[in-house]
């Protein structure tokens, strides 16, 4: 049972990957069906409301994936400066590869749909807020003030989303690297 993924999970994983790379409107159900090998009948069985419903589950899947990525690094490194820096350096390596197929975690979908689908927008916002709360927690533990932790977490989130965007547009990890190097300066005041 442990490794037997069912059709629903496969659909979510494939959709999550494709939406990250090409966005909501850039991916058709056809793409998801072909890439997953799961027929349309099954898709509409598990997601009766169709593409939008699948996209929301895909966003939540991406959200959890990113949470795990952040937390894994944070558990190893106590100092928030070093932990956040390490996380961004790691991203710079991934997105520096010319053949990266990761895309903006949820930024693309968020930007495409913020005027057209409230349910999707909300799902994206929740993802962003959860990531933010991880940064807040890490900063609070290191005795940053409540206010400072909150504002810094926003900035960190923006730097990461913006940095990924720059790096994948340039097909080059340099932007994320430059950003990682500024983290100590930014976190100097508690």
Partner DNA sequence: TCATCATTATACCAACTGGTCTATTAGTAC
Partner DNA sequence: GTACTAATAGACCAGTTGGTATAATGATGA
Which residues sit at the interface with DNA, rule CB under 7 A? Answer: 6-7, 27-31, 38-42, 44-46, 48-52
Q: By C-beta, is 13 or 174 nearer to its own copies?
A: 174
Interaction site with its own copies (CB under 8 A): 21-26, 101, 103-104, 107-108, 110-116, 121, 124-125, 128, 150-152, 154-155, 157-163, 165-166, 168-171, 174-175, 178-179, 181-182, 185-186, 188-189
Least Cβ distance, residue 37 to its own copies (angstroms):
21
38 binds, among its own copies, DNA, none (CB under 5 to 8 A by kind): DNA
Q: Could you tell me the end-to-end alpha-carbon distance of the chain, in angstroms, rounded to an integer?
A: 47
At residue 84, the 3 state secondary structure works out as helix
Give me the helices (H) in 114-145, please: 118-141
- Residue 67 CB, nearest distance to DNA (Å)? 27
Q: Which is nearer to DNA, 45 or 72 (CB)?
A: 45
* Beta carbon nearer to its own copies, 83 or 152: 152
Q: How far apart are CA 42 and CA 69, in angstroms?
A: 30
* Residue 29 binding target from DNA, its own copies, none, CB below 5 to 8 Å by type: DNA
* CA-to-CA dists, residue 26 to 30, 84, 109, 134, angstroms: 11, 32, 10, 30
CB of 46 to its own copies, least distance (A): 24
User: Closer to its own copies at the Cβ: 54 or 168?
Assistant: 168
Give the DSSP H or E segment for 55. helix 51-76
Query: Residues 6 or more apart from 27 whose CB is under 8 A from it?
Result: 15, 18, 19
- The pair of three-digit structure tokens given for residue 68, joined into one six-digit string: 């795990």
For residue 48, what are the contacts with CB-CB under 8 A and spacing of at least 6?
A: none
Q: How far is the CB of 6 from its own copies (least distance, A)?
A: 29
């Amino acid at each position: 049972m442990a490794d037997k993924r069912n059709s629903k999970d496969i659909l979510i994983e494939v959709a999550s990957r494709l939406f990250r790379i090409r966005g909501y409107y850039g991916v058709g159900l056809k793409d998801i069906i072909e890439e997953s090998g799961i027929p349309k009948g099954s898709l509409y069985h598990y997601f009766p409301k169709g593409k939008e419903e699948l996209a929301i589950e895909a966003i939540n899947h991406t959200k959890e994936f990113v949470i795990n990525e952040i937390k894994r690094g944070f558990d190893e490194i106590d100092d928030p400066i070093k932990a956040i820096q390490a996380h961004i350096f790691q991203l710079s390596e991934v997105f520096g590869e010319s053949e990266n197929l990761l895309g903006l975690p949820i930024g693309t979908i968020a930007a495409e749909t913020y005027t057209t689908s409230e349910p999707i927008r909300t799902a994206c916002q929740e993802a962003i807020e959860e990531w933010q709360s991880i940064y807040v927690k890490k900063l609070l533990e290191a005795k940053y003030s409540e206010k400072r932790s909150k504002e810094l977490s926003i900035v960190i989130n923006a730097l990461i989303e913006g940095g990924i965007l720059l790096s994948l547009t340039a097909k080059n990890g340099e932007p994320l690297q430059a950003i990682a190097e500024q983290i100590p300066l930014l976190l100097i005041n508690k």
